[in-house]
Structure 1
Amino acid sequence: MSDVTAHLKRQARDEAGRLLRWWSDNLVDTVNGGFLGEVDADGLPVADAPKSIILNTRLLWFFSAAARALKSDEALVLASRASDYLHRYFIDAGAGGVYWLLDAQGRVIDSKKQAYAQAFTVYALAEYYLASHDLIALKMAEALQDMIEARFWDSGRGGYIEALDREWRPLADPRLSEKDIDAPKTMNTHLHILEAYTSLHRAAPRQATQARLDRILTLFLDRFSHPQGHLRLFFDMDWTDRTAGVSYGHDIEASWLIWEAAQALDDDALRDRCRPVVLALAGTTLHEGLSPEGGMNYEKRFDGHFDPDGEWWEQAEALVGFVNAWHMTGEPGWLDAADRVWAYTKAQYGAGGRREWSWYAAASGREKIYTAGMWKCPYHNGRAMIELDHRLG
């Protein structure tokens, strides 16, 4: 083991433990049960903040993964807390699927069924099953995958649609967030269905999980990957491309998740198809998306707009993506890139400190955003630390 791999592995494992402690100490809701919906930019709890399915399932995933990776009984207890809250409040016992948003007391605020949220629930429950051996969690993950296939798969043209209302009817606005293009099929939702299906197939492989994972992975190769080493991001129902730019964080995140899916399927021909796509995504990210200082840029739009102020999650995904490319090729430049990103993340985002990572780099001068909430979870950075600890071993 080289000096670089040794120190990255050691620091990643230490950071996974620090992140576990911060989220354990700051997110438990002792009044209403489950976990708080938000911790503000100054690290103070927001007791009346709504609770999102995204935060709850990402907490469930992280605590489950940390329980396994760090052999932590405390993390498993917290994972069980997240699982219990999910079962009690987020699952729609009448129409099926999971709700999007609850108030602080667990009452439904937004009942829409976002495919992205159903996928994250599958992802979290599969990981929780691996940590706890809870067969109820596994059966629910399998049932939710069946529901995704029945409700969101476009049987005529292929691909998964974005969202439906509580009763599984079309929505006027299916977008995941306000910054997204109003498109019925998106790369981002497909990416998280891909990771969920990979996790479920690894946890409990069946003919159905294999066929579904193979289908969505092939869809990534055929529809979402671009010869220039980027991803196509937004589509109409008929697959008319409406992509308006490049998302460097998604490019590098997809690179290693595509490879993980191919590895889970253990198909040499499929791996051969994926390999150039994976390395092209990682290579373009390295040459276009990484700043001279070692930080990830955010995006480049086709209208000429360029945003260099990467968010915390892109730094985390770059760490895994570059280490994955190093594993695939043995070329030391990839490992050097990961080391640069890690140094930058410690200097600019507070990694290695006593708090959760900041949303933006200190040098960006951007206004501080909440420390924990719907879109600020320990999933990207916690997963990156667990992945590095494992991959560099």
Structure 2
Amino acid sequence: MIHTNDIKTEIKEHWEGHILPFWSALKDPNNGGFYGWVGNDLQVDPLAPKGGIATARQLWSFAAAYRVTGNQIWRDHAEHAYRFLADHVLDAEHGGLYWMVDAKGEPLDTSKHVYTQSFGVYSLSEYYRATGDESALEIAKTLFALIEDHGLNAELPAYKEQFDRFWNEQPNEMLSENGVTADYTMNTHIHVLEAYTTLYRVWPDPQVKAALERLLGILYERVYDKETKFLGVFFDKQWNSIIDLRSFGHDIEASWLIDETLKVLGLDQHPEYSAMVTDIAYNISNVAVNTDGSLLNEQEGDHVDEKRIWWVQAEAMVGFYNAYQRTGDPLFLERVERLWTYTKEHIIDHRAGGEWYWSADGDGTPDQSEIAGPWKCPYHNSRFCIELIERMG
């Protein structure tokens, strides 16, 4: 068995020597922000659009890197991302973050998605946590208010998904997949939870606490299936599941995000929530770990998608290590070790100037998808590195 100190050393070296340098090289000195696209051939497209989600995730990643390492260069990169988000991605007239801007920061798609706003709250709170910049916290508070005012259906309760620029609700095309259009999604709810948890760390306001308690209740009562131990994925307006889909990566990610909220709120007196955290982790460990140690992607009906997605491996390592910390069960530590071995061999792009491949197939062959894009950002794998570095002590 590998000693955790060895894993921690490897992860820290990989993060500081491979992941962060790749993304820092994409800094756009002319138009602000970071270049929006790197193809599988590692060619940068300096004219590619820049996503609102990607910009927020870049801000979070560099802010967190500065907070953890104290390295001024990461603060400079975080400030660079912050300026682009505040000056170009934020709608100064109608509030909220755009879905997409062009390379120069002009609006391309002015849709407002609650998912995007949540990453704004998350990244701005982390930036404030790292730098103490009050202007960032004020924007985070404003985005929180927008989500609560426009995004919350307080009667159910539930958080809505997609709006136009003027905050009129629209069909949720941005976060629906598998041939359905969902009114509510598990994905948006776990990321609003993640965002509000970080906001509460720096602004412990009663409104934020109430919203977090509401979200925990939604996840436990509406999203979590207490019999199967899976989370539902897509729902209609009455919280009925509209597809037989299990997202293994989101489930294990949700388990540790929920646990973070419990820790921040001091809510360990809720045994049903704590049981949910460990039950999800055991369930995913039992059903979604492949013989090579990797985590499978999802299952729709009887069909299992066996692609090994980059972010799924990253979140699984955090989720299983969190479960190890909570239970002491060495099974979870073994899961982390084997996932890290698989990731090093098949997901990390070892080419000069590479980062992580999007996914690998069953025999470990990487696919040809982009290395950086609107959804492919430094957040999942940077966060995995940070979480394990901090947790392994």
TM-score band w.r.t. shorter chain: over 0.9
Quote how far apart the aligned CAs of 1:258 are: 0.6
Structure 1 segments unaligned to the other structure (5+ residues): none
Q: Does 1:251 align with 2:262?
A: no
State the shift of 1:85 in Å: 0.4
What is residue 7 of structure 1 aligned with on the other side? 6
- Aligned residue for 2:320? 322
Change (3 A) 1:277 1:231: same
State how far apart, in whole Å, the 1-side matches of 2:7 and 2:350 are: 12
- Structure 2 distance, partners of 1:53, 1:172, is 19
1:104 Cα deviation from its structure 2 partner: 1.2
Report the counterpart of residue 262 of structure 1 in structure 2.
262
* Equivalence for 2:218: 219
The normalised TM-score by structure 1 is: 0.96
Q: Counterparts in 2 of 1:367-378, with a 5 A limit?
A: 367-378=367-378
TM-score with structure 2 length normalisation?
0.96
- The 3 A distance-change label for structure 1 pair 315 and 243 is same
For 2:309, the equivalent position in structure 1 comes to: 311
1:31 maps to: 30
Q: Deviations over 1:88-124 (max 9, x none)?
A: 1011111111111011121111001100000000000
The AA in structure 2 aligned to 1:346 is K
The answer (yes or no) to whether the contact 2:248–2:284 under 8 Å persists in 1 is: yes
Do 2:32 and 2:81's aligned partners in 1 also have CA atoms closer than 8 Å?
no
Letter in 1 for 2:342: Y
Rounded to whole Å, the distance in 2 between the matches of 1:351 and 1:341 is 16
Q: Deviations over 1:189-210 (max 9, x none)?
A: 0010000011000122111111
- Taking only the aligned residue pairs, the percentage that are identical comes to 38
Judge conservation of contact 1:300–1:307 (CA < 8 Å) in 2: yes
Q: Determine which of 314, 329, 332 is the counterpart of 1:331.
A: 329
Q: In the TM superposition, what is the alpha-carbon distance from 1:15 to its structure 2 partner?
A: 1.7
Shift of 1:173: 4.4
Query: Do the aligned partners of 1:162 and 1:174 also contact (CA within 8 Å) in 2?
Result: no
Counterpart residue number, 1:231: 231
Following superposition, the deviation at residue 174 of structure 1 comes to 4.0
Matched ranges for 1:198-217 at <5 A: 198-217=197-216
Return closer, same or farther for 1:263/1:351 CA change in 2, 3 Å cut-off. farther
Structure of greater relative contact order (alpha carbons < 8 Å, 6+ residues apart)? 1
TM superposition shift of 1:211: 1.0
SS state of the match for residue 95, structure 2?
coil
How has the CA–CA distance of structure 1 residues 311 and 391 changed in structure 2, closer, same or farther, with 3 Å as cutoff? same
Distance 1:64 1:143 in 2: 20
State how far apart, in whole Å, the 1-side matches of 2:209 and 2:342 are. Answer: 39
CA apart distance, 1:269: 2.1
Aligned to 1:279, what secondary structure does the other structure show?
helix
* 2:118 aligned with 1:116: no
Q: Is the alpha carbon distance of 1:318 and 1:237 closer, same or farther for their aligned partners in structure 2, counting shifts above 3 Å?
A: same
Letter in 2 for 1:21: P
Answer with 63-72 or 311-320: which moved more: 63-72
Matches of 1:221 and 1:59, distance apart in 2? 30
Number of the residue aligned with 1:91: 90
Aligned length: 389
* In 2: Cα distance, 1:379 partner to 1:262 partner: 22
Distance in 1 between residues matched to 2:176 and 2:104, nearest whole Å: 24
Of the structure 1 ranges 169-178 and 252-261, higher mean CA displacement relative to structure 2 is found in 169-178
Cα 1:373–1:268 change in 2 (3 A) is: same
Higher deviation after alignment, 6-15 or 348-357: 348-357
What's the offset of the Cα at 1:386? 0.4
Residues 45, 14 of structure 1: alpha-carbon distance in 2 compared, 3 angstrom cutoff: same
1:320, CA displacement in angstroms?
0.3
| Mapping 1:124-203, distance limit 5 Å | 124-176=123-175, 179=178, 181-203=180-202
Question: Does the residue aligned with 1:166 lie in a helix, a strand or coil?
Answer: coil
**1:15, 1:179 → 2: CA distance?**
34
Whole-Å Cα distance in 2 between the matches of residues 176 and 333 of structure 1?
34
Residues of 2 paired with 1:240 and 1:108: CA distance? 35
Does structure 2 retain, via aligned residues, the 8 Å contact 1:51–1:104?
A: yes
Equivalent residue for 1:384? 384
1:3 to partner: Cα distance: 5.0
Residue 178 (structure 1) shift: 5.1
Query: 1:310 deviation in Å?
Result: 1.8
SS of 1:263 mapped into structure 2: helix
| Distance in 2 of aligned mates of 1:351 and 1:35 | 20
Unaligned runs of 5+ in 2: none
Offset, 1:381: 0.6
Q: How far does the alpha carbon of each residue in 1:61-111 deviate from its partner, in whole angstroms, 9 at most, with x for none?
A: 000001111221111100000000011101111111111101112111100
Distance in structure 2 (CA, Å) of the matches to 1:277 and 1:155:
24
1:281 equivalent in structure 2 = 280
CA shift at 1:352, angstroms?
Answer: 7.3
Structure 1 residue matching 2:269: 3-state secondary structure: helix
Alignment-mate amino acid for residue 16 of structure 2: G
How much does 1:267 deviate?
2.1
Alpha-carbon deviation of 1:351?
A: 6.4
Alignment check: 8 A CA contact 1:282 1:322 kept: yes
Tell me the alpha carbon deviations over residues 134-188 of structure 1, each in whole angstroms, 9 at most, x when there is no partner.
0111111111101100001002221101111111112144432555630110000
Matched, 1:290 2:289: yes
Q: Give the partner amino acid of 1:333.
A: L
Q: Aligned with 1:268: secondary structure?
A: coil
CA distance 1:359–1:143, change in 2 (3 Å): same
**Once the 2 structures are TM-superposed, how far is the Cα of residue 361 of structure 1 from its aligned partner?**
2.1
Separation of aligned partners in 1, 2:263 and 2:174: 31
Residue 345 of structure 1 is matched in structure 2 by 343
Given that 2:358 and 2:367 are in contact with CA atoms closer than 8 Å, whether structure 1 keeps it comes out as no
Per-residue deviation, residues 255-312 of structure 1 (Å, max 9, x unmatched)? 1001001111102323x2212111111111111111010111011111x211111200
Helix, strand or coil at the partner of 2:308: coil
